[in-house]
C-alpha cells in the first residue's frame, strides 16, 4: 500500500518527512494541503489532524502527525538515518529537538512574516527581532559544521535532515549561503545524496502556483 503524506511544498516541516521518505526509497505519494487557502482549518482536515498541521502520514491504519515522529518511524523501519550507538542516537534526538525549538521554528516563522504574510501586516520591528534569532541559530549550525561534515557521526542522520529543512528555500528570511560557508557545503553534501529533491520538486505547492 502506498504511503500518503499530507503536505505542501512551502512547508519545511513537511519536507522533514518527505525527504527521508524519498531518500529511504519508500513507496509514497504527496497529498496536497491547500494551506494558504485555509484547508488546514476546515472541519474535514481537522478530522484528519485535530492539530491542523502538516505533515500527516497515513499508511493503512497507521496515522502519524509531527515530522519528528514520522522521522523516528523511518529510522525504526529502515535502520537508516539514526545513530550507530546509543550515544549517537541521543545526539540525533538532541539536534532534532534543537531544530524544532531554535532552528525551524525561527526559520519558518521569519520566512512566513517576510514573504507570505500580507504586506500590510508586516511589522519591521518584529521581523528584525526574528531575523536576529535566525542568525543566532545559524551561527550555532555554522560553528558545528566547521568541525565536521555531518551533525552526528560519520554519515547523514535525521539530525541533518531535520536541521536542513528550511535552508533550501529561495525566499529571504535572513539566511544567505554566502555568509555561512560550512552550512553551504553541508547543504551541498545533502543535495548530493541519491534521491534528493528540492522541496518544491518533491511536494506540490509553491509561491509560483499562487502568483
| DSSP collapsed to 3 states, 159-200 | HHHHHCCCCCCCCCCCCCHHHCHHHHHHHHHHHCCCCCCCHH
Position 59 scores a pLDDT of 97
How high is the pLDDT of residue 64? 98
List domains and CATH numbers for the chain: 3-80+196-210 (3.40.30.10), 86-191 (1.20.1050.10)
pTM: 0.96
- Residue 164 pLDDT: 98
Residues of the chain below pLDDT 50: none
pLDDT in tens, 119-140: 999 999 999 999 999 999 999 9
Amino acid at each position: 500500500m502506498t504511503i500518503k503524506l499530507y503536505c505542501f511544498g512551502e512547508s519545511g516541516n513537511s519536507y522533514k518527512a518527505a525527504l527521508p521518505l524519498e531518500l529511504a526509497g519508500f513507496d509514497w505519494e504527496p497529498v496536497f494541503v491547500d494551506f494558504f487557502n485555509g484547508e488546514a482549518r476546515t472541519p474535514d482536515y481537522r478530522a484528519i489532524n485535530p492539530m491542523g498541521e502538516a505533515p500527516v502520514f497515513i499508511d493503512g491504519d497507521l496515522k502519524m502527525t509531527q515530522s519528528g515522529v514520522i522521522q523516528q518511524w523511518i529510522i525504526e523501519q529502515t535502520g537508516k538515518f539514526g545513530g550507530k550507538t546509543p550515544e549517537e542516537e541521543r545526539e540525533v534526538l538532541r539536534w532534532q529537538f534543537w531544530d524544532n525549538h531554535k532552528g525551524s521554528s525561527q526559520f519558518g516563522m521569519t520566512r512566513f512574516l517576510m514573504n507570505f504574510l500580507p504586506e500590510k501586516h508586516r511589522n519591521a520591528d518584529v521581523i528584525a527581532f526574528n531575523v536576529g534569532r535566525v542568525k543566532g541559530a545559524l551561527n550555532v549550525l555554522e560553528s558545528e559544521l566547521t568541525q565536521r561534515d555531518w551533525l552526528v557521526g560519520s554519515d547523514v542522520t535525521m539530525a541533518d535532515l531535520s536541521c536542513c529543512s528550511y535552508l533550501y528555500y529561495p525566499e529571504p528570511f535572513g539566511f544567505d549561503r554566502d555568509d555561512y560557508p560550512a552550512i553551504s557545503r553541508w547543504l551541498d553534501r545533502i543535495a548530493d545524496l541519491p534521491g534528493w529533491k528540492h522541496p518544491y520538486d518533491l511536494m506540490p505547492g509553491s509561491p509560483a502556483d499562487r502568483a
